[in-house]
Amino acid sequence: MSNNSPFLRQPASVQVVMLKVLAALLPGIAVYIHFFGWAVVVQIAIASVTALVAETVMLAIRKKALKPFLTDGSALVTAWLVALTLPPIAPWWLAVLGVLIAIVVAKHLYGGLGQNPFNPAMVAFCALIVAYPQLMSQWPAVGFTDFGAQMQAVFGHRDLDAVVMATPLDALRTALHTPEARATVSGVLGSHATFGNIGGRGWEWIALGYLLGGLWLVQQRVITWHIPAAFLGTLGLASLLASLASPDQYAGPAFHVLTGGAMLGAFFIATDPVSGSTTPRGKLIFAAGLALLTWIIRVFGAYPDGIAFATLLMNICVPLIDMSTQPAVFGHKGKQP
């Protein structure tokens, strides 16, 4: 312990920060449960337990103090994010595997809390989607909330044809990419049973849930406005321009912002401080780049959502962005009255 000034400390801790992040996820999760059933809670539970066990083992191997690190809550945040990006009816071992990749590989092999250059949850997501593309895109239909059947899918034999349905993003891309189909955005969005009014039935409400939690995080000063604003703004702008240019081919901003993982990404994934930019201007650039890559991968890529890959790509650029966006220091700003 130090016996030097300052002797006063604000009662803040990593734990409090992480708990606030978890709390902010709750509204989104509540809506999620409403539309997709309680399976997501089971996934979160599986992920949390795995995370805590993995964290304990890794800390023990690395001979680190258990208590402060285990209770800091960062492993739980990672676990929840992994669970929320998996389909709720994914087999249980997928969540376990994902969390193990996140905690063991992406976090501890890089030096543990505060040292990981990549967002652990997104590393896990990318690894899983590359390894198990099938499982990762088997989303249940909105409103399929039969808990028994879901548990059957998670823990037992998977017979899903009846319940699986493409996510809005998937459906849109598949329809537009099928060579012979002369599909248009409005055609797909209007006709398909998956779609609700804006971002897909249910999805838009979940997004609003995340938005609510995210705004609370901004108000609590856990995150700043830069990343969410730049992310959503850029994503909206890119899709707006594209849809203006060719409304048949590209979906508009409302759809992109409210579907898939956009809102979760904007407030909870891109804002991971460890692997993201930290300077105000850097955050704007980081989030804008992230949004642009997300949009590109969504529209032109083959994966259901682009956020995960985009995050990892932008994570690589963080040191460069931060270095070149250092804010001007007091007195070195040039203008003086």
Partner 1 sequence: MRPLFGFTGGVKPASHKTESNQGGIVVAPLPPVLTVPLRQNAGLASRPLVQAGDRVLKGQAIAGPGGSISVAIHAPTSGTVRGIETHPIPHPSGLLAPCVVIEADGEDRWIERTPVDPYALPVEELRTRLRDAGVVGLGGAAFPSFVKTQHGPTQRIETLILNGAECEPFITCDDLLMRTQAGQILDGAAVLAHIAGAQRIVVGIEDNKPEAVAAMTAAAQRAGLLVEVVAVPTRYPAGGEKQLIRVLTGIEVPFGKLPPDYGVQCFNVATAYATARALLHGEPMISRLVTVTGNVERPGNFEVRIGTPIADLLKLAEPKADTDRNLMGGPMMGFALPTLDAPVIKATNCILAGSKAMFPAPGPEMPCIRCGSCARACPMDLQPFEMYWFSRAKILGKAQEYHLFDCIECGCCTYVCPSRIPLVDYFRFAKSEIRAREKENEAADAARQRYEFRLEREEREKQEKAAKLAAKAAETKAKLAQAGDADDKKALIAAAVARAQEQKAEEKPGVE
Partner 2 sequence: MLEALLVMALGSVILGGALGYASVKFRVEGDPLVEKIDAILPQTQCGQCGFPGCKPYAEAIAKGEADINCCPPGGEDGIHKLADLLGREFKPLSGEHGVEKPKSTAVIDENVCIGCTLCIQACPVDAIVGAAKQMHTVVASQCTGCELCLAPCPVNCIDMVPIPETIDNWKWKYPVFAVQKAA
Residue 223 zone, left/alpha/beta (φ > 0; ψ -120 to 50; rest): beta
Q: In 37-110, which residue ranges form alpha helices assigned H by DSSP?
A: 39-61, 66-70, 74-85, 92-100
84 binds, among partner 1, partner 2, none (CB under 5 to 8 A by kind): none
The residue type found at 77 is: V
Residue 157 touches partner 1, criterion: CB under 8 A: no
With tokens 């962005």, the residue in question is 321
Which of partner 1, partner 2, none does 274 bind, CB closer than 5 to 8 A by kind? partner 1
Question: What are 323's two structure tokens?
Answer: 């270095």
Site for partner 1 in 109-148 (CB under 8 A): 112-115
What does 313 interact with, of partner 1, partner 2, none (CB < 5 to 8 A by kind)? Answer: partner 2
From partner 2, partner 1, none, which one binds at residue 134 (CB under 5 to 8 Å depending on kind)? Answer: none
Integer Cα distance of 169 and 239 in angstroms: 13
* By CB under 8 A, residue 118 contacts partner 2: no
Tokens representing 35 are 């539309």
The window from 179-187, 203-211, 255-263, 329-337 that contacts partner 1 (CB under 8 A) reads: 329-337
Select from partner 1, partner 2, none the partner in contact with residue 329, using the beta carbon and a kind-dependent cut-off of 5 to 8 Å: partner 1
SS3 string, 185-201, reads HHHHHHHCCCCCCCCCC
Taking the complex as a whole, the smallest distance from the CB of residue 79 to partner 1 amounts, in Å, to 17
297 binds, among partner 1, partner 2, none (CB under 5 to 8 A by kind): partner 2
Which tokens is 148 given? 């028994």
Cβ proximity of 142 and 202 under 8 Å: yes
Rounded CA separation 270/231 (Å): 8
> According to CB under 8 A, which one of 34, 49, 317, 325 is a site residue for partner 2?
317
Among 178, 191, 324, 326, binds partner 1 (CB under 8 A): 326
What CA–CA distance (Å, rounded) separates 13 from 208? 28
List 147, 155, 225, 300, residue binding partner 2 (CB under 8 A)? 300
Closest to partner 1 by CB, 134 vs 336, is 336
Show the tokens assigned to 25.
Answer: 């996820």
Helix (H, G, I), strand (E, B) or coil at 300: helix
- Of residues 54 and 129, the one with the C-beta less far from partner 2: 129
Nearer to partner 2, 43 or 85 (CB): 85
Find where tokens 């803040």 sit: 12
Residue 232 in contact with partner 2, rule: CB under 8 A: no
**The residue to which tokens 């700003």 are assigned:** 333
The letter for the amino acid at 286 is: F
**Residue 300 binding partner per list partner 2, partner 1, none, with a CB distance cut-off of 5 to 8 Å that depends on partner kind:** partner 2
- Nearest-angstrom CA–CA distance, 22 and 39: 18
Does residue 23 bind partner 1 (CB under 8 A)?
no
**Which parts of this chain interact with partner 2 (CB under 8 A)?**
1-3, 293, 296-297, 300-303, 309, 313, 316-317, 320
